[in-house]
């Protein structure tokens, strides 16, 4: 759900993309993003596009054709990063796990030491499975071989600890529509000084003009035209981030965690189980297993018709096996958890 304050912010008059007021909003977003990402990085911008535009920006800027790109994947979005890197001409090497299976930290370190890649990428919050991937060991090993690290934080920012500096993430990207409680349309990103240095010594230009970070720097920090960014979406994200700052990261994480845990408790009381082992679960996206003999599509249809409630099903190897139920951002409330548990219980009886 979009936060009511965000809707209100979006009704402000639209200014031009070179208007001093627009750059004031950009500056506020830059500073608020530093807080939300828990980073001292100064290069914090919002890419015009959805989460995938952030993914494409991170990969296209960090890697050059022919270079080695090490990918950790245990779900759909990890695989998508690999496909983008392949299209950028990278040599992609993978440490793949089953969907929803955690990485072994020692194995992760050995993989990086063996492959000695230029860039290492992982998905911190894998929305296809509901798994939180701990990235600290990956980033430490990557830095030991002088690789840049990319983390997909689409489903963690604003709901769970991202901790960019603490984890050693060089480029993190997210989206506007999940933990920040805004509509889709911008991809908030942070880039470390180390990654910026690397960009400045690239041998070839970034293969996307639109997503070239140094060009975007001349726009957002240098105030020179690059593209016509949406003032309305910047109003939205500024408001979403201001709400995060007012609530405070610790309190916000505690709220997400408490609502997630209440959801799990309710699910287990119904006799269902969670796909992801405890300690590896997202607080923003829950994946209960669908009991034997229950038709996933029928349950979702029932929830839509009787409760006007949309939940997602699993896909890929998890099709028909799990539900995917968001408890993120503005939607993460005790009332919503109670409502979905009641609705699910009714749906499973049909
Ligand atoms: C982990 C993850 N990465 C990337 C994306 C892509 O984001 P978008 O659909 O906003 O382009 C998503 C979308 O849900 C996601 O969950």
The four Cα atoms 40, 41, 47, 50 give a dihedral, to 10 degrees, of -50
The answer to whether the pTM exceeds 0.85 is yes
Return the ligand 1 atom nearest residue 126 CA.
Answer: 1
Q: Whose CA is nearest to atom 9 of ligand 1?
A: 51
Average pLDDT along the chain: 97
Q: How far apart are CA 340 and CA 338, in angstroms?
A: 6
CB 149 within 8 A of CB 121: yes
CB 154 within 8 A of CB 77: yes
What is the per-residue pLDDT for 166? 98
pLDDT, average across residues 109-126? 98
Ligand 1 close to Cβ of residue 51 (< 6 A): yes
How many Å lie between the centroid of ligand 1 and the Cα of residue 52?
6
Q: Whose CA is nearest to atom 13 of ligand 1?
A: 51
Q: How far apart are CA 276 and CA 126, in angstroms?
A: 11
Architecture (CATH level 2) of domain 4-247: 3-Layer(aba) Sandwich (3.40)
Name the segment(s) of the chain with CATH classification 3.90.1150.10.
Answer: 249-349
Q: How far apart are CA 179 and CA 130, in angstroms?
A: 14
pLDDT for residue 320 is more than 90: yes
List, for residues 228-245, the tens digit of each pLDDT value. 999 999 999 999 999 999
Q: How many CA atoms lie within 13 A of 269 on its CB side?
A: 11
Ligand 1 close to Cβ of residue 84 (< 6 A): no
How many Å lie between the centroid of ligand 1 and the Cα of residue 126?
9
Residue 94 main-chain phi, psi, to 5 deg: -125, 145
pLDDT for residue 55 is more than 90: yes
pLDDT for residue 130 is more than 90: yes
What is the per-residue pLDDT for 312? 96
Ligand 1 close to Cβ of residue 131 (< 6 A): no
Q: Whose CA is nearest to atom 5 of ligand 1?
A: 51
249-349: what CATH class? alpha beta
Q: How far apart are CA 268 and CA 293, in angstroms?
A: 18
Ligand 1 close to Cβ of residue 39 (< 6 A): no
What six digits make up the tokens of 303?
A: 């929830």
* Nearby residues of 26 by Cβ (< 8 Å), 6 or more positions away: 45, 220, 234
Ligand 1 close to Cβ of residue 56 (< 6 A): no
How many Å lie between the centroid of ligand 1 and the Cα of residue 284?
13
Ligand 1 close to Cβ of residue 58 (< 6 A): no
What is the per-residue pLDDT for 309? 95
* DSSP per-residue letters across 247-275: H-HHHHHHHHHHHHHHHHHHHHHTT--BS
Return the ligand 1 atom nearest residue 178 CA.
Answer: 14
* DSSP per-residue letters across 150-181: EEE-TTTTTTS---HHHHT-SEEE--SSSTT-
List, for residues 155-205, the tens digit of each pLDDT value. 999 999 999 999 999 999 999 999 999 999 999 999 999 999 999 999 999
Ligand 1 close to Cβ of residue 152 (< 6 A): yes
Name the segment(s) of the chain with CATH classification 3.40.640.10.
Answer: 4-247
Element at 233 (helix H, strand E): helix 231-247
Ligand 1 close to Cβ of residue 157 (< 6 A): no
Return the ligand 1 atom nearest residue 55 CA.
Answer: 4
């Amino acid at each position: 759900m979009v936060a009511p304050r965000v809707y209100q912010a979006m009704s402000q008059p639209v200014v031009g993309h070179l208007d001093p007021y627009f750059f004031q909003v950009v500056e506020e977003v830059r500073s608020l993003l530093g807080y939300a990402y828990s980073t001292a990085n100064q290069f914090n911008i919002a890419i015009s596009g959805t989460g995938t535009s952030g993914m494409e920006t991170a990969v296209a800027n960090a890697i050059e054709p022919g270079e080695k790109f090490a990918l950790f994947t245990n779900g759909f979005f990890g695989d998508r990063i690999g496909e983008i890197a392949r299209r950028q001409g990278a040599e992609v090497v993978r440490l793949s796990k089953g969907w929803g299976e955690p990485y072994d930290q020692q194995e992760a370190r050995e993989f990086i030491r063996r492959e000695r890649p230029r860039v290492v990428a992982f998905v911190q919050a894998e929305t296809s499975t509901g798994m939180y991937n701990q990235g600290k060991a990956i980033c430490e090993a990557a830095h030991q071989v002088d690789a840049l690290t990319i983390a997909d934080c689409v489903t963690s920012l604003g709901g769970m600890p991202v901790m960019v500096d603490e984890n050693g993430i060089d480029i993190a990207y997210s989206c506007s529509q999940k933990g920040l409680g805004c509509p889709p349309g911008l991809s908030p990103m942070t880039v470390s000084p180390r990654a910026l240095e690397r960009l400045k010594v690239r041998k070839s230009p970034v293969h996307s003009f639109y997503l070239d970070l140094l060009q975007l720097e001349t726009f957002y920090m240098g105030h020179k035209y690059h593209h016509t960014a949406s003032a309305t979406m910047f109003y939205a994200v500024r408001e979403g981030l201001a709400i995060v700052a007012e609530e405070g990261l610790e309190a916000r994480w505690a709220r997400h965690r408490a609502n997630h845990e209440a959801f799990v408790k309710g699910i287990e009381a119904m006799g269902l189980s969670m796909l992801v082992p405890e300690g590896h679960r997202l607080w923003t996206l829950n994946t209960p297993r669908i009991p034997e003999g229950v038709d996933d599509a029928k349950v979702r249809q029932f929830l839509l018709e009787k409760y006007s409630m949309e939940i997602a099903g699993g896909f890929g190897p998890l099709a028909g096996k799990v539900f995917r139920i968001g408890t993120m951002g503005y939607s993460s409330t005790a009332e919503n958890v109670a409502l979905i548990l009641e609705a699910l219980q009714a749906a499973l009886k049909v």
